[in-house]
Structure 1
Amino acid sequence: MHKFKDYINHLNDYIDKYLSFNYPSNLYDPVKYILQNGGKRVRPLFTLFISDLFSEKIDNALAAAASLEIFHNFTLVHDDIMDNAIIRRGAKTINDKWNNNTAILSGDIMLILSYNLLSKYKDQTYIELSKELNNTAILVFEGQQYDIDFSTQNNVQIDDYFKMIELKTAELIACSFKFGGIVSEASENNIQTLYKIGKNLGIAFQLEDDYLDSFGQSKDFGKKIGGDILEKKKTLLYILSKENLEGEQKELFLNTFNSSEISKEERIDKIKTFYISSGSKKILEDYIKKYHDISINLINDLDLEKNKKSVLKDYCSSLINRVS
């Protein structure tokens, strides 16, 4: 996977050159701050990788990849404002380091900057990329609204949760696959298959994030374990536990989940115990495997050489390999 280091280096150089704006500094400094503050670059890497697989070059994919990375970070900036978050990737959020007004405006300019990058493409390619990002953006925003709504709803169902993560997370990963296909002029059949691969992988990716938030290792996950529990997020683990537990156990689970009278560590430990005893942990593991396997099997439908399919399978699996 040595190529991916090269991809990231090329992408970072491209973004740095693109963000050559300096004034007003309170508008552009926060943009540079979040884009230079780590991140896995999952979405743009897929765009570059897919382009490389189909056209054996990435130069023509850099603008599209950068567009997705800037768009993704724009959504994070606005998410942090809505959540009153103070930490992102181990550093202060823009709204905490500066203020909410600065974060709103910097997020806004990031959205425009992401779209502006697509103007580097000509004619039909520009139209297709713009249309895809438009559609994806609408779906991501709808997913974010569902996520916000869940915080005040007491009866979130499994189907509701899957709809939310499909919109908020999976659609943007699916878009990154399609972007790679579009800029490399892949066939329409290949582009539609790439979308399906990305969407199913995106679902598995988000489910794994939910899993790792409770059962991962902090040093590997990059976040403190138990954050979703402390924030009382209605993840699939919560929904499954609420559905599977009965009687006194269900009442104790809900009381513990909503309690503010016990320590953070105790609440995390007790809720994790419920996640295990209710069978929710195992069910979530099975869901992750299901969507991972669907995405891997869909790769077989691509019109690509066998060795390229194998490399794509390996990379997709490497993203969903921390649950065992």
Structure 2
Amino acid sequence: MYTIADFQKKVEENINSQQFVSKPEGLYKPIEYVMELGGKRIRPTMCLAACYLFSDDVDKAIEAGLGLEVFHNFTLLHDDVMDNADVRRNRETVHVKWDENTAILSGDAMLIKAYQYIANVDGKVLKEVLDLFSKTAMEVCEGQQYDMEFESRSDVMVEEYLNMIRLKTAVLLAASLKTGAIIGGADPECANNLYEFGENIGLAFQLQDDFLDVYGDEKTFGKAIGGDIVANKKTFLLINALQLASGSLQENLQTWISLDTFNREEKVEALRNIYNELKVDDLAKEKMAWYFDKAIAALNKVKGKESMKAELNQFAMNLIERSR
């Protein structure tokens, strides 16, 4: 009997066994570098777990899982270029270590490599898997575009934001689960319920990320608290605050947002106090819980190995119950 931990180990072993570097090395070395940065390998792990729900032969989902992980890392590489980020997982980003042109071209190559891995799945399900992957890849790009557009907008609505994070983050997790289910031989209803499970967990996870950026413990959160506040990033918390604030609270909020020069700690504390007064922290927790409940309801409808369903349930709880 497999566990989620077994699948994480299997994924890591398979990634480590890949030969990412060939000629010209200037194109492929950055790919190897990105893939060696690590991460939780959530998407390929979910792909294998979903396959195992319906089939004991999880190895037939490995290639698809690798493709999903390469694609995910491709999006991070290009995100770093667009965000002009210097560090990813405590190491230099590709465009810093090499240059921007290299990052763009190596990222393009990663997208092609992702398709090459996906194309190795069994021919009986290949078209269905490829169609799902292509649809998802386009949705992730749409989500990124919305995210960039929101930077210059002051009228972003909550529903717009939720759709953006659904596209940018949640659909890839959902597609990973559905891909594994398709490869494992699940019926369409079970595959769609797993997609719904992944989509809602992805939404809850991103809302938790927004929340922890303000209220988290830096040691357990893994990055500096208040990064979204400092950047005036449109999050669930800020959008709700902008819509709910009035009078002096609204003036105070707008003042902090408009400042070009400020003390980081003061701004983070000021925004946190505004959020507390408006109780947008409670709104975030309620929305997280709502998405989590929707996810578990979808998972409960899925047929398959009960032991793996229990593992997926616990995995979902671990994802959104990260320590504050």
Q: Aligning the two structures, in what range does the TM-score lie when normalised by the shorter sequence?
A: over 0.9
Counterpart amino acid of residue 175 in structure 2: C
Distance in 2 (alpha carbons) for counterparts of 1:266 and 1:57: 55
Q: TM-score, normalised by structure 1?
A: 0.95
Distance in 1 (alpha carbons) for counterparts of 2:245 and 2:178: 41
| Unaligned ranges ≥5, structure 2 | none
CA contact (8 A) 2:229 2:271 kept: yes
Distance in 2 (alpha carbons) for counterparts of 1:271 and 1:2: 45
CA contact (8 A) 1:174 1:194 kept: yes
Q: CA RMSD in A?
A: 1.7
C-alpha displacement of 1:210: 1.1
User: Match of 2:156, SS?
Assistant: coil
Alignment of 1:268-287 (within 5 A): 268-287=268-287
Alignment of 1:247-286 (within 5 A): 247-286=247-286
Structure showing greater relative contact order (alpha-carbon pairs closer than 8 Å, 6 or more residues apart): 2
Question: Which deviates further from its counterpart, 143-152 or 87-96?
Answer: 87-96
Aligned position for 1:216: 216
Aligned CA distance change for structure 1 residues 2 and 191 (closer, same or farther; 3 Å): closer
CA contact (8 A) 1:89 1:223 kept: no
Aligned position for 1:74: 74
C-alpha displacement of 1:143: 0.7
Q: Which runs of 4+ in 1 moved over 4 A?
A: none
Question: Which deviates further from its counterpart, 153-162 or 5-14?
Answer: 5-14
Q: Deviations over 1:194-236 (max 9, x none)?
A: 1111111111111111111111122222211111111210111
Aligned position for 1:94: 94
C-alpha displacement of 1:122: 3.0
CA contact (8 A) 1:89 1:222 kept: no
C-alpha displacement of 1:258: 3.0
CA contact (8 A) 1:67 1:118 kept: yes
Distance in 2 (alpha carbons) for counterparts of 1:276 and 1:214: 11
Distance in 1 (alpha carbons) for counterparts of 2:196 and 2:184: 18
C-alpha displacement of 1:61: 1.1
The reply to whether residue 205 of structure 1 matches residue 210 of structure 2 is no
Counterpart amino acid of residue 144 in structure 1: Q
User: Match of 1:40, SS?
Assistant: coil
Counterpart amino acid of residue 66 in structure 1: L
Distance in 2 (alpha carbons) for counterparts of 1:9 and 1:298: 27
Q: TM-score, normalised by structure 2?
A: 0.95
Aligned position for 2:318: 318
| Unaligned ranges ≥5, structure 1 | none
Counterpart amino acid of residue 218 in structure 1: E
C-alpha displacement of 1:310: 2.4
Aligned position for 1:191: 191
Aligned length: 324
CA contact (8 A) 2:169 2:206 kept: yes
C-alpha displacement of 1:50: 1.2
Report the identity percentage.
37
Aligned position for 1:50: 50
Distance in 2 (alpha carbons) for counterparts of 1:269 and 1:40: 31
CA contact (8 A) 1:177 1:194 kept: yes
Counterpart amino acid of residue 136 in structure 2: T
Q: Deviations over 1:161-183 (max 9, x none)?
A: 01101111111111011011011
CA contact (8 A) 2:20 2:28 kept: no
Aligned position for 1:26: 26
CA contact (8 A) 1:257 1:271 kept: no
